Structure 1
Amino acid sequence: MVSPKQSHRGCKLGTVVKSNSHCDYVIQLDTERDVIAPPAVNDYGFGQFVTLDTDQQHWAVGIIYNSQLFNPAFLNSGPQLTSAPDPLFTPDLIQETKTLLNVVLVGNLEYQGSHIYGHHGIPRHVVPVNTPVYAMDTQSRHHFHLDSEHRPQFKYYGHLLNGGGTFANQLTQQVLTELGTSDLFNDNEQRALQVLCKELTWKNTLGVMG
């Protein structure tokens, strides 16, 4: 039986390998060498909401804001084989090719019995290394954007702009667009989200022109 603290999990993406700050974590993506069913490309795209937790504790909710491909063979100045290499002699080199995901933490989920809601802001605790990371489905994202009174909330706007990396404006705009087209917010709240989105679009346009 799935507990309420596990119901928000989608597919497993990978595990925490390091952090750049209290709210900026690096996730190593699982591959076919790590698990039987690795995540698909659509599971870990730009702007994907994720949850960092174990069976014992939920740690945080985050958003993927960047990715890096780690390939130690790139620009390797060592000797090259004239024929195709035998994979049996290069397992370590193949295994070291990894995909790394940058995640900004924007809050966490709270549980009151079967009632799940979101707490937006900077998580208090430090997430341990090797903590599993899962994609969040639409229903889980809706839970995160409801407060304890079941009212819609979007309180991490400024934090996302400051902590979303080089593409913070584009990331925030994408999140606003997706929330604005969802059924979570009422008409007035959707219009407010659309206004914020238009302001960001205008700022991005001015930045390009400048």
Structure 2
Amino acid sequence: MHIQFAELPVFDQDRAKAFYTGHLACQLIADQPMGDSGWRWIELAFPHAVTNLHFVRRANAAPSTEPVLVLVDDNVEATTAALKARGVEIVSEPQEAPWQPGRTVAEFRDSEGNRMVLAADNLAAACPHIASSDLGSTAPRHDAPEVGTQGSHPRFNPQAAAAYDRHASCLLCSFGDIAPYCHPCIVQRLPV
């Protein structure tokens, strides 16, 4: 099961469509009339994403004060710089997320005043499979050095790992828990 689309409030569908296809490489999936109001069903797909974006009519003119969506990106710094170079309002420059040490986040406003978060892909930042050719493998890797030891992944975050107890899960290695400290991936630590 997955979520087919997330709703994004917009004023001007054409302006929003141009923003997301031009600045964030979205692909147009649907653009069809919806009733007599002139509003259209517009659905966009982000590259490599399962969940699409669907425009809904914005209720008021006030820009959002809180983030509307979190977009996960491989290179938050480069994406933020590219958006800034194209004149997009940057709300906050790339910085470490106070709620998740080791994760980089930035914020921007889209053409409709929606506050959006760009967040580093934790999987790419924490799991050595991303740097190796094991991407997509579902077989556990027990040949890796012990977590937090010399030779484990350079982005391993012992503080984040210590905040949780005995079970860990690497989505590329196992869809369930793996034995503690048998793997350098700290993709997701699951509280016991």
Task: Report the TM-score, using the length of structure 2 for normalisation.
Answer: 0.30
Tell me which of the two structures has the higher relative contact order, counting C-alpha pairs closer than 8 angstroms and 6 or more residues apart: 1
For normalisation by structure 1, the TM-score amounts to: 0.28
